């Protein structure tokens, strides 16, 4: 059982280059409410280190590469994001960490508007909430 899911996006590639289309509730498995992107990332400055109670996300590395670690408090999964046609779906209640940014631009597709109250900021609180909801 994997924690997240890799989605292989269809690449419309021809002699001019590549094009990938993202469609709400089609190749993105939820209704899209928000898109944000991370750039100017530093190799030695990992990000994430939180979980979301309700938010679902798809992460796409549109340029460069990084390492994504997902953890549902039982299992840990590592996904190398190094291809714009490879997307990582992160379900709700999954702890995420991102490392080793190498010229990396990350686009994140989100199922909800930004809500600070949806964040769980410590791994201890996260694993306690998982246990309580079981």
Identified binder of ligand TYD from the candidate list 35, 114, 122, 128, rule CB under 6 A: 114
Q: How far is the CB of 48 from ligand TYD (least distance, A)?
A: 5
**50 belongs to the catalytic site:** yes
Contacts of 96 (CB under 8 A, 6+ apart): 48, 49, 50, 51, 68, 69, 70, 71, 90
User: 């960490």: which residue's tokens?
Assistant: 97
- Touching ligand TYD, residues 93-112 (CB under 6 A): none
By CB under 6 A, tell whether 91 contacts ligand TYD: no
The number of CA neighbours under 13 Å toward the Cβ of 11 is 14
Contact letters (x/-) for ligand TYD, 8-37, by CB under 6 A? --------------------------x-x-
13's tokens: 């590639």
d(CA 109, CA 32): 7
Q: How many CB atoms lie within 10 A of CB 24?
A: 13
Contact letters (x/-) for ligand TYD, 45-74, by CB under 6 A? --xx--------------------------
By CB under 6 A, tell whether 5 contacts ligand TYD: no
Active site residues: 50
Where does this chain bind ligand TYD (CB under 6 A)? Answer: 34, 36, 38, 47-48, 114
């Amino acid at each position: 059982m994997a924690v997240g899911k890799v989605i292989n996006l269809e690449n419309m590639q021809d002699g001019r280059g590549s094009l990938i289309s993202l469609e709400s509730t089609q190749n993105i498995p939820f209704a899209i409410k928000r898109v944000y992107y991370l750039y100017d990332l530093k190799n030695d400055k990992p990000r994430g280190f939180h979980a979301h109670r309700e938010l679902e996300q798809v992460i796409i590395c549109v340029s460069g590469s990084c390492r994504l670690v997902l953890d549902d408090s039982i299992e840990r999964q590592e996904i190398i994001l190094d291809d714009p046609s490879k997307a990582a779906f992160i379900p709700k209640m999954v702890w995420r960490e991102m490392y080793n940014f190498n010229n990396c631009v990350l686009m994140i597709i989100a199922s909800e508007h930004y809500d600070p109250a949806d964040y769980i900021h410590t791994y201890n609180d996260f694993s306690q909430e998982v246990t309580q909801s079981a």
